[in-house]
Structure 1
Amino acid sequence: MSTSLAEHVDALYSAVERAGPDAFQAALEGIVEATQRSEPAEVSAALERLEPMLARIPLGMGPDLAQVAGAMTDFGGDPASVLATLVERAAGAMEQAARFAELHRAAGLALPDPGDFDAVGETRDRFTAAVQVRGLAGEEEAEDLLQAWYCGDSWVQPVLFMNQRRDVRRALPQRARLLNGVRATREYLGTAGWLEGLLLVLDDEPLIVLDRGFAGTGRGFRVTIGGIGDNFQLHTMLAAALIGHHLPGRAPAPAEVAAATDGPDLTPEGGIRGSWNLVDHGGKWIWNEGRPSDIPHLDGVRVVVLEPEPYQRSWNAGRAYPHMAPLLRIDEPLSPQEAAAWLSRCTTSS
């Protein structure tokens, strides 16, 4: 008879209290296996029981647990039971990792690679001695900072994973603190930069989209977007929604649209071709490398003006976040008078 998910959680608590690291790892592997065959209610109950452990386990011991807890939300586990705790631990880890880098510089030491786990022992000895002799930190604080440096990425990862869900983004606590953390550590922790993109994702965001020079129709549209990770994705999804339906031109191929929305192949053969140039109301290019949140407002609404491509462009990937469900909806066309009024307030691209 298979061991239940609840029994594996019991084993994990026993391993933390008495049995040691091998038993801890075995119990975690059991949780992963049992989660995949358990009902959502059982997974949610297990997550609730794991939350106190997530809150107190040392950073250096808990990365695998944190990632397992994040993954359990993909098997029906309620993210609400662990979201606040995982955010607290991720934010704290980034803050401590930034402090580690600050003290390293203050001590005149070269920063180690946070992914080089073979160097942990040497780094611990060198860093602890250097900060203690200079009175910058005690041995216990030095150890905490060291763990954050080497394990911070793993604590950020489940928050990154969960934030690809709209319900999690809506309920996310401490957004400003997380943003401060990722901006302090994105130079060192790879997951921090990816989390920053998710923290800036717009949901249920209205746009005014105006055709000026692309097809020269002068038409305009009210659009709602959500869950779009960058302007490459916005570019393709706008083209798929408008070209061939409301505007003339070459619409993206089905494989390109799938890569930008919900298809399994994010990098279709031949890449993804650009359709137009996106410009803001002030005449500045909306770079594909940016995000929809970068687009400036005009009277409280972000405005996108469609212009012809200045040169042919293509890129490889359709979307930055494979598990995030994007939305782009054409709500209604503007009347000719409305479109003309909006266009009259938009500066021509130079």
Structure 2
Amino acid sequence: MRAAREGGDFKAHLQAALEAAPTAAQDDLTRAAHRVVDVAAELPPQLGCWFANLAGALAESGADVDGIPVIERLSGVSSGALTFAEAWGPHVPAAEDGPTPDIYRETQAILGDRTRIAMQCWYALPQFASAACTLLSLSPATRAAVDDTDELVDRAAAHCPQLDYVRDLRRVLDGEQLLILDRTTRQGWGVEIHGVGDNFQLHTLLAAVLVPDHLPGRPVDPRHVDAFTTGESSPMTPIVTGWWNLVDVNGEWIWNEGVPADIPLFGDSRVLVLDPPSYERSWSPGRRFPLMPATLTLTATYDPADLTAWWPTLKPPAR
């Protein structure tokens, strides 16, 4: 870190840190990570982005990383990157191609004194985005501490698609209680979710706890449960075929392509209604965010008599 601040060969030091991380003790990794995330946030973007990536690598090696400084720095980097992109208009240079003297001169003609920081932000943005995805995936505490949305980051996603993943990771519902109502059988359950990255995952894990013990149907393949919680799917793992249409209390579809946070609150609860499938849906097994482990736990089974007030409230499914 001293090399970065004083202009030394910090890349060599970073490479050495990356090579040492897999065999380091967790306490040592965590102490190093606390310093690294702060430096990533303090240094100019073209240097800070390397430390942001190092923080992600330390987290993957087992460090308990507070990713908040990197996530907050990403907002500022996104702002600078947007300044650069708006200066260039529809012909903005690709960040992955790297800067050139010609790009600097053309940008300076438009932005003047703001050129250097705007260019640094533009070319550092992909690395900050990658680091943010890693840190948000691996740290529920970081996810809990950041806001669900960041306007600057969301706008910059038009130029850096990985920021779409950052947006959805910020919205992950950890420790959220959902009320599940099956319209056909008039049964209901409570479930708690952690680390569920999309509704393909939610749909599959919900079936794993309800079918066939509580609802009739085809049991979930254990390989699918593994792939959507903590494991990996292999090329030999078959595709998943869905069990229901998922809708909200207003009858609007909850698309598998969305995220659990798309389920609207009804009072203090997110309510998910199960309807018979209108057509067969299939999807590939595996987590959208492979580094983020997930759980879905059955927390309550409700007596049908306790649910009678719900059924008149539910609107029929939209067609």
The question of whether the paired residues in 2 share the 8 Å contact of 1:259 and 1:267 is answered with no
Work out the CA distance in 2 between the residues paired with 1:88 and 1:206: 28
Q: Secondary structure at the match of 1:303?
A: strand
Q: Map of 1:45-64 to 2, 5 A cutoff? A: 45-51=31-37, 53-64=39-50
Normalised to the residue count of structure 2, the TM-score between the two structures is: 0.92
| Alignment match, 2:70 | 86
Q: Map of 1:241-280 to 2, 5 A cutoff? A: 241-265=209-233, 269-280=237-248
Cα separation, partners in 2 of 1:36 and 1:61, compared to 1, 3 Å: same
Deviation track 1:281-324 (CA, whole Å, cap 9, x = no partner) reads 11111111111111112222111111111111111243211111
Quote the offset at 1:234 in angstroms: 0.7
Size of the alignment, in residue pairs? 317
**Identity percentage of aligned residues:** 33
Q: Which amino acid aligns with 2:157?
A: R
The question of whether the paired residues in 1 share the 8 Å contact of 2:36 and 2:52 is answered with no
Q: Which amino acid aligns with 2:94?
A: D
Q: Does structure 1 residue 167 correspond to structure 2 residue 147? A: no
Deviation track 1:131-176 (CA, whole Å, cap 9, x = no partner) reads 1xxxxx323x112111111211101222211111212222x34x26
Quote the offset at 1:266 in angstroms: 7.0
Cα separation, partners in 2 of 1:266 and 1:144, compared to 1, 3 Å: farther
The question of whether the paired residues in 1 share the 8 Å contact of 2:177 and 2:193 is answered with yes
Cα separation, partners in 2 of 1:256 and 1:183, compared to 1, 3 Å: same
Normalised to the residue count of structure 1, the TM-score between the two structures is: 0.84
Q: Does structure 1 residue 17 correspond to structure 2 residue 2? A: no
Deviation track 1:83-125 (CA, whole Å, cap 9, x = no partner) reads 33212321111111112222223xxx622222222x5433222
The question of whether the paired residues in 1 share the 8 Å contact of 2:182 and 2:274 is answered with yes
| Alignment match, 2:101 | 121
The question of whether the paired residues in 1 share the 8 Å contact of 2:232 and 2:286 is answered with no
The question of whether the paired residues in 2 share the 8 Å contact of 1:266 and 1:317 is answered with no
Q: Does structure 1 residue 185 correspond to structure 2 residue 174? A: no
Work out the CA distance in 2 between the residues paired with 1:202 and 1:18: 42
Q: Map of 1:28-47 to 2, 5 A cutoff? A: 28-47=14-33
Work out the CA distance in 2 between the residues paired with 1:26 and 1:337: 67
RMSD: 2.0
Quote the offset at 1:18 in angstroms: 5.0
Work out the CA distance in 1 between the residues paired with 2:235 and 2:260: 21
Q: Which amino acid aligns with 2:12?
A: A
Quote the offset at 1:32 in angstroms: 1.0
| Alignment match, 2:51 | 65
**Bigger radius of gyration among the two:** 1
| Alignment match, 1:208 | 179
| Alignment match, 1:341 | 309
| Alignment match, 2:87 | 103
Deviation track 1:229-261 (CA, whole Å, cap 9, x = no partner) reads 111111111111101111110122112222211
Deviation track 1:30-58 (CA, whole Å, cap 9, x = no partner) reads 11112222212222332344355323322
Query: Which of the numbers 219, 226, 231 marks the counterpart of 2:194?
Result: 226
Work out the CA distance in 1 between the residues paired with 2:131 and 2:257: 25
Q: Which amino acid aligns with 1:201?
A: V
Work out the CA distance in 1 between the residues paired with 2:270 and 2:259: 12
Work out the CA distance in 2 between the residues paired with 1:217 and 1:143: 63
Work out the CA distance in 1 between the residues paired with 2:254 and 2:37: 42
Cα separation, partners in 2 of 1:18 and 1:154, compared to 1, 3 Å: closer
The question of whether the paired residues in 1 share the 8 Å contact of 2:41 and 2:48 is answered with no
| Alignment match, 2:249 | 281
Deviation track 1:178-210 (CA, whole Å, cap 9, x = no partner) reads 621221111111221100010111111111111
Q: Secondary structure at the match of 2:197?
A: coil
